[in-house]
Amino acid sequence: MAPLGIGLIGTGYMGKCHALAWNAVASVFGDVERPRLAVLAESSQDLADIRARELGFERATGDWRALVNDPAVDVVSITTPNAFHPAMAIAAIEAGKHVWCEKPMATTLADAERMLEASRRAGTVAVLGYNYIQNPIMRLIRSLLTEGRIGPVNHIRIEMDEDFMADPDALFFWKSEASSGHGALDDFGVHALSLLTILVGGVRRVCGQMARPYVDRPVEDGTRRAVETFDIATMLVELETGASGVIALNRSAWGRKGRIAVQIFGSRGTLVFDQERMNEVQLFVADGDPRTRGFRTILSGPDHPPYDRFLPAAGHSLGFGDLKIIECRELIGRIRGEDAMVIDFESGIRIERCVDAMARSARSGTWVEVAT
Amino acid sequence: MAPLGIGLIGTGYMGKCHALAWNAVASVFGDVERPRLAVLAESSQDLADIRARELGFERATGDWRALVNDPAVDVVSITTPNAFHPAMAIAAIEAGKHVWCEKPMATTLADAERMLEASRRAGTVAVLGYNYIQNPIMRLIRSLLTEGRIGPVNHIRIEMDEDFMADPDALFFWKSEASSGHGALDDFGVHALSLLTILVGGVRRVCGQMARPYVDRPVEDGTRRAVETFDIATMLVELETGASGVIALNRSAWGRKGRIAVQIFGSRGTLVFDQERMNEVQLFVADGDPRTRGFRTILSGPDHPPYDRFLPAAGHSLGFGDLKIIECRELIGRIRGEDAMVIDFESGIRIERCVDAMARSARSGTWVEVAT
Amino acid sequence: MAPLGIGLIGTGYMGKCHALAWNAVASVFGDVERPRLAVLAESSQDLADIRARELGFERATGDWRALVNDPAVDVVSITTPNAFHPAMAIAAIEAGKHVWCEKPMATTLADAERMLEASRRAGTVAVLGYNYIQNPIMRLIRSLLTEGRIGPVNHIRIEMDEDFMADPDALFFWKSEASSGHGALDDFGVHALSLLTILVGGVRRVCGQMARPYVDRPVEDGTRRAVETFDIATMLVELETGASGVIALNRSAWGRKGRIAVQIFGSRGTLVFDQERMNEVQLFVADGDPRTRGFRTILSGPDHPPYDRFLPAAGHSLGFGDLKIIECRELIGRIRGEDAMVIDFESGIRIERCVDAMARSARSGTWVEVAT
Amino acid sequence: MAPLGIGLIGTGYMGKCHALAWNAVASVFGDVERPRLAVLAESSQDLADIRARELGFERATGDWRALVNDPAVDVVSITTPNAFHPAMAIAAIEAGKHVWCEKPMATTLADAERMLEASRRAGTVAVLGYNYIQNPIMRLIRSLLTEGRIGPVNHIRIEMDEDFMADPDALFFWKSEASSGHGALDDFGVHALSLLTILVGGVRRVCGQMARPYVDRPVEDGTRRAVETFDIATMLVELETGASGVIALNRSAWGRKGRIAVQIFGSRGTLVFDQERMNEVQLFVADGDPRTRGFRTILSGPDHPPYDRFLPAAGHSLGFGDLKIIECRELIGRIRGEDAMVIDFESGIRIERCVDAMARSARSGTWVEVAT
């Protein structure tokens, strides 16, 4: 197979992550051709030139439409603000390109549905950037669940907490505007839903509450402006399997930095994970000598592929960026027709529909079915 | 003040805890008279005799009504099965005795309300055995909240998990019968509510879900019987302060043994506690050098009264039984007219009403107001 | 068997612990007669009277020799400052009493040897107050080692750290005087050695270093006085089994409150314990699915006798005081001729000899054999 | 500055790490030119060709001497087995190249001294691959120490434990041969010494013990062969500052995977780090409200440069590979004449001399001065 030609739109933090992943994927895995970093697009030609040099791209452009239609480009990485995703993704798809689009799909469910339709029509690969599912420890959890190590799952709890909205004295900015979405729910809760999806499947119905820790925030002119989004969201859920669960999201949780705490309860054991210690998982299984049962802390290692592609010894820690490299390898695998662990637009739309149901439920104060 | 005369009804595990507390309270605190362990009642005279000898009581009886009316008895410890609480507590109260009754108050809200009425009429002290609130670390949390150390509280999460109902192959027994109550909610969830009460106050409304991890259980004759109670309960709550919260209870949570995990989020910080490590609390405060902010793990010590009455050095660990000794001292304080940290029948009824609202909400699938 | 008559000398913190243990032992265990709390001795009759009332003793005396010779006394609890141990213990032993003496035995090895001789001559029970060995979790560790769960032990590390000498601005007091002993080594290091003794046996030879974090300390008159003891001690050891090890003691370790961190390495696994979380032990065993190996955290529970005598459910936490109650029960067992887990004067002298060898090694800078 | 031309010798795990770092450094930091990956050398031309393609190098050779003398090469990465380091490093240095050589310097102290001499003569940059010092959290620790946040350091403990030699049934292989070195001490203990060096400075004298957990190991032919190296080493140390310390190394520590546990005690506080949780450090400072003192767990974040070059939010975790990218940036900084955090041959030789003193001490059973 000829090297894939890569086009990258957007070079913020996530764009850099994509560039690093495209750069590293062949070296790390050794079983794919080094991609050609063909074209990079930014908002201006000048900025694009600078970034292309830094990130190792051959050419640069100030016009993302040119990139999308460039014959040297096989895959388009889209890492721009969420509002731009639909237009860029659909254009790329319609130009016959594969797409690697950052999450969430779009800022409205309608836009996301349009992206899905475009993807279905084109038949190219369209994948979303849900990197947390790529953690080798998360794959271990998934394998253990599949193998029945803790028995059928009957209950799940997911908490996702950070503190970037925790300071009540921080100035009002766009994340408190209704136009940015619901708040914690879609801003970062979708990550929690991506884990739910790959670990225990879909959500049948939800009953939620969204809350504002601070009703208003200071504005630069000395006045205060009402907060329109919800920094806290808590959801009761019923899964398609019949299991019950609860999801709690808080982007104003002082001291939490990247917490995604997952607790999965089965008839034979329990699994516990926290993203802040992403190289560990805790497993309790109700077997063996009763005197020595306990939660065991398993450290990520070569027994948990593809950790072995990065490091030969356990306990030496993968990082956030490494997950993006794995995601990149999975995307290439999907393009090559291999069995790959990705959240494509088909799976991604279910997350978006779940978010939509949760927001409606919080407004109505009742249980709401998730559309299928 | 003359020594208090103590009557103890019931000598199971909790009866033993009460006896040990009455035995130890004067030695530990040094500021109260040693109580006289006057009368012990059990279901038969023979058993009562044996237990009185073991537990150090002067006299024994097979008739609890005799104990309740014994002039040597000033305080009646009630540690019998929950269904007996109302009759015993009301009889003791009406005989002019102080009452130390184990939680929950009763098996029905109506019975609990009758107990409260009796208590109001009599004017003697009537206190419930919510021992977790007596932890010096819990009092530290309460003080920090009162002092505003983490600012106004805007969100709270409480999880309470054990695994005594986790084994799907365990035989059906009375805890799966509807007559025993709702399940996790009232069986042990009331402890979680007792902490909520002293830390952040009352609950205004609730929306809950109760679930059965196992629909039926084996019976000794080889057949199976449908489970009638709910081993899992999850509740969205809105506090009287306006703060939001979530309570998750699971008595089939493999590997969890005595978990009561509390997370309290304020505008300036966060507090985290877990009963399985009852001598620790974690505190995050958003101040000082940003490079060195983090959750600090505070070990229980003499700076957290009344830890100092037990041990002169921090980090040497109090145990569950010690909490009961503190509770005993608080009860004596209340009797002496001191300011005391107890959940009396007035506070206790609010917990019972909250449980009632939660159960109704889970049935109706809607938000329910808690009666006041 | 008639109830044991108890005499208690000393009513500081440890005296209170003994009194509480004697008070509680029959209630907790249910298989021994309630001891008679016969006589209490303090430095004056007045103080003795007050304490006897608080602690529940029948009689009080200002003369410990009277107590030691009192026919109502079968067992003498000695909880006075270390320098008094030899005279009191020997007098009690020679009066035909059993002795429960707090650790360490004495302030000089010669005195300790004299205590041992007296004990050998008399044949009564003479036991030391090494309470940490009584932790049910510690007994679990011992059982697992005996059963070979982690294979033969080849290496051990013990750290013991507190911070009561950590403040360089604290005034000079007796613990910095040479007359108080070597410092960390004998002041609290003996606890570490008591654990070593019951877990992996005796020490063959040692090579140590003792250090002063602060060379002098302020005196009240504004001058400074040279520190004569060593707040830090580190020891390389070779056990009688041939295993190697290291012991590190620090009583000026800021933030450590009651740390006794034990790591035991065997050919099949590892055991890790920390007294600051005294209800937990971590066990790694190199077996089973390689993907899910890890240190498991075992919570203390009824499967670890005699935890079950205190609490019916795991994870509810014993405390420091509970260990003293267990120690009391073991002492009674030893008196009754049962197999008991105690450090008697025969075992205790080995700890004292080890301390002596360590101190000599630190002075000479060479390896020193422990006397046997 | 023109792009640096890179030559890489060796493409095992560490060679891959170097290649990834050279590939990523410009993208991550944005303030250096993308290096030219010029030449890669492997043991054969064929293997070199394959690896060059995978790792993105322009040219390949089976002759490392050709690489070392190639005018397109400015910096030589040496990642071959330790025995090859001296010849390659000296040749590269003498060809006027900068050198990035993996640790340890050599298999004998004499070779290491020769490397240092070559480096001194040439004046090019010669740096060792001690990546653990590059952790942003480690730099935070260093800054806090420099700022006096925990006061002058008076004691330090470092443990380094893995379990790759823990299985007694594993076949004898080269790591048990004396020709491979002393064992745990130089095989991986040098990492511990690198941390010691940057955090608290040099070692004045040492007293050590080395031990064999298993005296022999099975050979494929069914016989057994005596183990010649020491999988366990424990060292008492006295630092140049006068502080005392202990270093404990164990490469047969079941369950430990990448543990480097550092405890640093000062007159005002304590710092605790464990490489297995490399994105965290614990800090205790003896100030503020005594009720709320405790070890705080600080999560790595943008406040700890250069974490911010990788991720914009704290708590999202760097990995082992990221440390190598930082090391690469520091090396470039040193070449550019900036102030850089590296262990060059001058610092590296002190580690080698310390190892040598430790090995001699373990043999003699006495304290040994470290050569300066």
| Number of alpha carbons in the 13 Å side-chain half-sphere of residue C11 | 29
Overall average pLDDT of the D92-120 stretch: 97
Q: Give how far C302 is from chain A: nearest CA, Å.
A: 9
Same domain, C138 and C25: no
**pLDDT tens sequence across D321-369:** 999 999 999 999 999 999 999 999 999 999 999 999 999 999 999 999 9
**pLDDT tens sequence across D322-332:** 999 999 999 99
Q: Give how far C288 is from chain D: nearest CA, Å.
A: 13
In whole angstroms, give the CA distance from residue C367 to residue A66: 78
**Is B236 within 8 Å of A209 when comparing Cβ atoms?**
yes
ipTM of the complex: 0.96
**Is D254 within 8 Å of C238 when comparing Cβ atoms?**
no
Confidence of residue C2 (pLDDT cuts 50, 70, 90): confident
Task: Provide the pLDDT for residue A98.
Answer: 98
CATH number for the domain harbouring residue A147: 3.30.360.10
Interface of C with B (CB under 8 A): 13, 16, 19-20, 23-24, 26-28, 30, 34, 53-56, 162, 164, 256-259, 276-279, 299, 301, 310-322
B293 token code pair: 């902010």
Mean of pLDDT over chain B: 97
Mean of pLDDT over chain C: 97
The dihedral sign for the CA sequence C7, C10, C15, C16: positive
Q: Residue A87 carries which side chain, given as an amino acid letter?
A: A
In whole angstroms, give the CA distance from residue D352 to residue D363: 17
**pLDDT tens sequence across C308-338:** 999 999 999 999 999 999 999 999 999 999 9
- Residue of B140, B283, B290 lying closest to D303 (CB–CB): B290
In whole angstroms, give the CA distance from residue D85 to residue D101: 7
- Residue of B13, B56, B321 lying closest to C322 (CB–CB): B321
Same domain, C191 and C43: no
Domain end marker among D77, D105, D124: D124
Same domain, A279 and A183: yes
CATH number for the domain harbouring residue D80: 3.40.50.720
Chain C residue with Cα closest to B278: C317
Q: Give how far B319 is from chain A: nearest CA, Å.
A: 20
DSSP state of D341: -
- What is each CA distance from C214 to A287, C365, D153, D155, D286, in whole angstroms? 52, 21, 11, 11, 16
Q: Give how far C371 is from chain B: nearest CA, Å.
A: 33
- Residue of C143, C294, C304 lying closest to A296 (CB–CB): C294
Residue with tokens 């530290």: B140
- Residue of B166, B236, B293 lying closest to A286 (CB–CB): B166
Per-residue pLDDT of chain A in tens (372 residues, 90 and over written 9): 689 999 999 999 999 999 999 999 999 999 999 999 999 999 999 999 999 999 999 999 999 999 999 999 999 999 999 999 999 999 999 999 999 999 999 999 999 999 999 999 999 999 999 999 999 999 999 999 999 999 999 999 999 999 999 999 999 999 999 999 999 999 889 999 999 999 999 999 999 999 999 999 999 999 999 999 999 999 999 999 999 999 999 999 999 999 999 999 999 999 999 999 999 999 999 999 999 999 999 999 999 999 999 999 999 999 999 999 999 999 999 999 999 999 999 999 999 999 999 999 999 999 999 998
DSSP state of C300: P
Q: In what order do the strands lie in the sheet with D75-78?
A: D59-61, D36-41, D5-9, D75-78, D98-101, D126-128, D343-344
Same domain, B17 and B98: yes
**Is B296 within 8 Å of D293 when comparing Cβ atoms?**
yes
Task: Provide the pLDDT for residue D2.
Answer: 80
Same domain, D276 and D304: yes
Same domain, B278 and B300: yes
In this complex, the chains that touch B, judged by 3 or more CB pairs closer than 8 A, are A, C, D
Confidence of residue D171 (pLDDT cuts 50, 70, 90): very high
**Is C293 within 8 Å of A295 when comparing Cβ atoms?**
no
3 state DSSP class of D44:
coil
**Residues in chain A within 8 Å Cβ distance of D281:** none
Task: Provide the pLDDT for residue B1.
Answer: 60
As beta bridge partners, residue C236 has C207, C246
Overall average pLDDT of the D109-128 stretch: 97
Residue with tokens 């990221």: D322
Chain D residue with Cα closest to B294: D298
Chain B residue with Cα closest to D140: B291
Q: Which domain holds residue B119?
A: 5-124
Asked if residue C73 lies in contact with residue C65, where contact means CB atoms within 8 angstroms, the answer is no
Chain B residue with Cα closest to A215: B154
DSSP state of B59: E
Task: Provide the pLDDT for residue B144.
Answer: 98
A217 token code pair: 């925030």
**Residues in chain A within 8 Å Cβ distance of B243:** 211
Residue D1 has pLDDT above 80, yes or no: no
User: Which of D287, D291, D295 would best serve as a mutation to test chain B binding (most B beta carbons within 10 A)?
Assistant: D291
For chain A, the domain total comes to 2
Same domain, C350 and C255: yes
Same domain, B80 and B170: no
Overall average pLDDT of the C81-91 stretch: 96
**Is D28 within 8 Å of A19 when comparing Cβ atoms?**
no
Residue C254 has pLDDT above 80, yes or no: yes
**pLDDT tens sequence across C62-83:** 999 999 999 999 999 999 999 9
The verdict on pTM exceeding 0.95 is yes
The dihedral sign for the CA sequence D180, D182, D184, D185: negative
Same domain, B109 and B154: no
**Is D276 within 8 Å of A317 when comparing Cβ atoms?**
yes
Domain end marker among C124, C149, C167: C124
- What is each CA distance from A76 to A23, A36, A79, A131, A328, in whole angstroms? 15, 12, 10, 17, 12
Backbone conformation region of residue C160, classed left if phi is above 0, alpha if psi is from -120 to 50, else beta: beta
Confidence of residue C1 (pLDDT cuts 50, 70, 90): low
Task: Provide the pLDDT for residue A2.
Answer: 80
Q: Give how far D15 is from chain A: nearest CA, Å.
A: 10
Domain end marker among A91, A124, A157: A124
Same domain, C265 and C331: yes
Q: What does residue D221 show for φ and ψ, rounded to 5 degrees?
A: -80, 5
Q: Give how far A254 is from chain C: nearest CA, Å.
A: 24
| Low-confidence residues in chain B, pLDDT < 50 | none
- What is each CA distance from C29 to B16, B25, C22, C136, C326, in whole angstroms? 10, 19, 12, 14, 9
**Is A276 within 8 Å of D315 when comparing Cβ atoms?**
yes
In this complex, the chains that touch D, judged by 3 or more CB pairs closer than 8 A, are A, B, C
Same domain, A269 and A145: yes
> Which helix (H) or strand (E) segment is B155 a member of?
strand B153-161
Same domain, C146 and C51: no
**Is B157 within 8 Å of A248 when comparing Cβ atoms?**
yes
- Residue of D255, D266, D269 lying closest to C284 (CB–CB): D255
